[in-house]
Structure 1
């Protein structure tokens, strides 16, 4: 994820602070090193977020495809965003 261990824990703490209940539970270190697990609330939070992602992707699908098509196949009458005059 290209972030430090401390940054990851800071983000976990921030998520827990802003939510109405803990989303992540810390597990104390020891023989197995400890770690963290999602609480039932955290699981529901992730599920809700993933649904929002799917709904948003579905809502913009047609427009994004049109944009991709325009980018892949630019009009021949333009060159780098400027109109090209026919000779």
Structure 2
């Protein structure tokens, strides 16, 4: 199931993945600055941590996309997504 989802989302991950990861990184850094300037609660830090973790995971997925496809491939059958 995850393999077919990755194959289906190939154009989106390859084209939009790195820019979205960069935007999440910038957003996370901006939220850290906001949390430092306005230390009223924990929400700013949690949002910054969530953005930075999401950026790291998306960058990892984009960088090693072929490895993920190799590891998650179906065993025992040949799945060709092309018609």
What range is the shorter-chain TM-score in?
Answer: 0.3 to 0.5
Larger radius of gyration: 1
- Hey, which of these two has a bigger chunk of helix by percent? 2
TM score, norm. by length of structure 1: 0.32
Structure 2 length normalisation: TM-score? 0.33
In proportion to residue count, which structure has more strand?
Answer: 1
